[in-house]
Homo-oligomer: A and B are copies of this chain.
């Protein structure tokens, strides 16, 4: 049975990731650096033991390190774990600087499988987005021509930690949020584009609603190019408070023979619930029922840890997505005409 340790928890994503792993049969062994969440975590996962990170790195009963700390600190956690021969699953973003990505590439070189996983939950935990990608890859809409991916979020200013307001610690809005959209675009384009087949054509970031935090980025966009395909993506922290969820996340895929539209969390002024998928093709318009699709990221991840496989995604996919997110952030110009 795979044993895991949680190292760093500055985001509530820790609960969904751990719940997934435990549900798939992994054993919570240890935890470190959980900050204010330590008491809640320790009572929730009573079998998990407080250890230092150094002890965790030396622990034979820890196969997998889960890191959900401050984004800028996750890469160092991951690098140390990989150097110690362990697997890592990181909340997104997995890495916030180019130098950290280079160091990650270094420690990953020669290691089989996918020691470093970044969990792009907007696809791996959403049945509508996952199915849209799967159907597009299987040719349900012909060749993929254009993708529009939008990831609006609630600002939630009152409940945000200090790092949230500092792009140097969050990675910036494109690294922090748009990595989901980049993951989806890369997945839609197929494995041929991994390792350099996708380009960042342009990117922008801005601050339109947070005057008290001048460095903050609350809106961002980027255009990605692949052979035969263009992807226009937007993320923001502008979800209106009247929206009954944190964000009206959409993925629209235009193919030569049809279109797919995933409405991940809400179908505004439409059907109830989340995970909506609408297919329009030569035969008509219909909703695709994804409600019984299994969410398999944790099962796949644990199988990959066990045998060095790449069921969930490849190491190359993780590196490609993170590289593109950093490129977009690095070359982002200011929002609109300044």
Contact = CB atoms under 8 A, between A and B. Distances in A.
Contacts of A255: 238
A337 B226 contact: yes
Interface string A178-207: 000000000000000000011101101010
Contacts of A242: 258, 280-285
A173 to B, nearest CB: 13
B221 A152 contact: no
A122 to B, nearest CB: 18
A331 to B, nearest CB: 13
Contacts of A285: 242-244, 268-269
Interface string A25-63: 000000000000000000000000000000000000000
Interface stretch (A8-16, A110-118, A229-237): A229-237
Contacts of A76: none
A270 interface: yes
Interface string A215-239: 0000101010111111010101010
A248 B240 contact: no
Which of A143, A244, A255, A270 neighbours the largest number of chain B CB atoms within 10 Å of its CB? A270
A124 interface: no
A98 interface: no
> For the side of the interface on A, what is the size category?
35 or more
A284 to B, nearest CB: 4
A244 B283 CA distance: 10
A296 interface: no
Interface in A94-141: 141
A61 to B, nearest CB: 47
Given A282-B242, A337-B199, A256 B145 contact: no
B280 A225 contact: no
A299 interface: no
A212 to B, nearest CB: 14
Contacts of A244: 285
Contact of A241 (B146, B221, B230, B282): B282
Given A269-B286, A337-B197, A238 B223 contact: no
A256 B209 contact: yes
21 contacts: A148-B234, A152-B254, A199-B337, A204-B230, A208-B228, A208-B256, A221-B230, A221-B232, A225-B336, A226-B336, A228-B335, A228-B336, A230-B336, A240-B282, A242-B258, A242-B281, A242-B282, A243-B285, A267-B270, A268-B278, A270-B270
Enumerate the 7 nearest inter-chain pairs by beta-carbon distance, A residue then B residue, closest first.
Answer: A242-B284, A232-B232, A269-B278, A240-B258, A228-B336, A225-B337, A242-B283
Given A141-B240, A234-B254, 16 more contacts: A145-B219, A197-B337, A208-B228, A223-B223, A226-B336, A227-B337, A229-B336, A232-B232, A236-B254, A238-B255, A238-B256, A242-B284, A268-B278, A268-B280, A268-B285, A269-B286
